[in-house]
Amino acid sequence: MTTTMDEPAAGRAAAPPDGLPRLLPLVPGVPEDLGAHLARYGRPPYRGGPGLLIHGVKAAGLTGRGGAAFPVHRKVAIVAGARGRKVIVANGAESEPASRKDGLLLRAAPNLVLDGLQLAAEAIGASEAHLYLHPGFGPEIGHALSQRAAAGLDRLDVSITEAPPRFLAGQESALVNRLGGGPALPTFTPPRVSERGLGGAPTLVQNVETLAHLALIARYGPRWFRALGTAQEPGTMLATVYQADGISQVMEVEIGVPLSTLLASQPAAQALLIGGYHGTWLPMAQAASLTLDNATLNQRGAAVGAGVIAALPAGRCGLVEAARVARYLATESAGQCGPCLNGLPRMAAGLAELAGRGHRKQVRADLERWAGLVTRRGACNHPDGTARFVASALTVFAPEISVHARGHCSATNRTPFLPLLHGMPTTEDDWI
């Protein structure tokens, strides 16, 4: 098939691309504008009616790339099956401070995200489309929207809302509350936003990377999508990888790739944080033999999450790093649910005590108990994620806890390693 024959008919560009990258620009670091995007992928292949794309998405086995890895077709089918006004939201809030992949995707390939947004909107029969973007998003997405309007690519107007710089701002119900004009705070589910979301309308919220994959599945089909990745978790994913030398990079990788291939061998790392700040620490010796997919990671109590992989260098103190993150997570509690409001600051203080020198004997047992007590007791999964993070730090850095108990610390470098945002919420406006 030639490009010229194919383009007018189904909107496809040349032959389906092989290998990597699928989403990121062909020339690393050079964003693709609408011209480059159309030359590479062609126009978005609208199906002509709601529901028609769901089968392909299901066959492709696409899962959400925002962190929860929920099957995309299930949420799409729920909203598509509902009656009345429906809303679609592309979630690019990327409220995880260690993750940079959504921001990069929105700069480098905004048109792929917008294609996915329009195609998913068609699949559910949406009458309203929103983009929910991370604080301080760049001008690229606005340029892309105006270029697309001129080219007549979009069927639905897209309105942009900026997320507040809060860890929970990207959580589905917080997002819907923010778009509705209120603070970005999570509320109890049910109802799920796919049943009753923005203004009461069934709302499909998908991560921007998920929508970019969906745009490619719509073009090249499920069989192409499954050519990379594992049988259970097909496709590629964007990962934010922090090497032990402190250099970080967003990479598009095949799901199921050995973690060791993502990490430089030098300088040596002692532990790996997988999934982000709701994620899990693993000792480097164990992590080196694992692959980047939930089937493997779940066996070790870890998950791919938002695709953050951070190698903690040998010279840093894992307890100090974990305590910094735990304190940040505590300050980011919405303060709505008792276990989270009361439990997270205690856990943060307990971990800070362990990270200091000489601690009370019972602190470690207290931390483990509190981690168990807060789990599954919030409106959102913030207490669960924080408890997982703290519990894995206690396990992985257990030798360091004994060192600290004797009044020492093995760190040779005390500069903070993991990136954090500063400024905890002090007024209701900080969630807006």
Partner 1 sequence: MSGTTAFWYASRATGIVSLLLLTAVLVLGILVNRQGRLPGLPRFAVTSLHRNISLLAVAFIAVHVLTAVLDTYVNIPILSGVVPFASSYERGWLTLGAISFDIMLAMIITSLLRGRLNRVLWRGVHLLAYLCWPVAFAHSIGSSRDLQHGWLLDLSIACALMVAAAALWRLAHAARQLPRAARVAAILARHSPPTGTRGPARARERIAR
Q: Which residues bind partner 1 (CB under 8 A)?
A: 187-188, 190-191, 327, 330-331, 333-336, 338-339, 341-342, 344-346, 348-349, 352-353, 356-360, 373, 379, 407, 424-428, 430-431
In whole angstroms, how close is the CB of 353 to partner 1 at the nearest point?
6
- Classify residue 406 by burial, with Cβ atoms within 10 Å: 0-12, 13-18, 19+: exposed
User: Are the C-beta atoms of 357 and 407 separated by less than 8 Å?
Assistant: yes
Contacts of 92 (CB under 8 A, 6+ apart): 102, 103, 105, 106, 113, 131, 132, 133, 134, 137, 207, 208
In whole angstroms, how close is the CB of 145 to partner 1 at the nearest point?
34
Cis previous bond, 17, omega within 30: no
70 vs 188 by CB, closer to partner 1: 188
In whole angstroms, how close is the CB of 401 to partner 1 at the nearest point?
12
Beta strands in 190-291 (DSSP E): 203-207, 236-242, 248-254, 269-274, 280-283
Long-range own/partner contacts, residues 184-192 (CB < 8 A, 24 or more apart): 184/431, 184/432, 185/334, 185/336, 185/431, 186/334, 186/336, 186/379, 186/380, 186/382, 187/379, 188/379, 189/379, 192/78
In whole angstroms, how close is the CB of 400 to partner 1 at the nearest point?
14
92 vs 350 by CB, closer to partner 1: 350
In whole angstroms, how close is the CB of 403 to partner 1 at the nearest point?
13
Neighbouring-strand partners of residue 291? 258
33 vs 195 by CB, closer to partner 1: 195
- 378: tokens are 């919030």
Amino acid type, 416: P
- Classify residue 87 by burial, with Cβ atoms within 10 Å: 0-12, 13-18, 19+: buried
97 vs 343 by CB, closer to partner 1: 343
57 vs 379 by CB, closer to partner 1: 379
In whole angstroms, how close is the CB of 167 to partner 1 at the nearest point?
12
In whole angstroms, how close is the CB of 409 to partner 1 at the nearest point?
9
217 vs 320 by CB, closer to partner 1: 320
Helix, strand, coil abundance in the chain, percent, nearest 5:
40, 15, 45
C-alpha 1: how far from chain center:
37
- 236: tokens are 């590629």
- 111: tokens are 């048109």
Neighbouring-strand partners of residue 207? 91
331 vs 381 by CB, closer to partner 1: 331
CA 265 vs CA 245, 283, 304, 373: distances in Å: 10, 15, 21, 38
373 vs 421 by CB, closer to partner 1: 373
In whole angstroms, how close is the CB of 329 to partner 1 at the nearest point?
10
C-alpha 25: how far from chain center:
20
295 vs 432 by CB, closer to partner 1: 432
Contacts of 21 (CB under 8 A, 6+ apart): 236, 252
223 vs 360 by CB, closer to partner 1: 360
147 vs 189 by CB, closer to partner 1: 189
DSSP structure string for 276-335: STTSEEEEHHHHTT-BSSHHHHHHTT---TT-EEEEEETTS-HHHHHHHHHHHHHHT--S
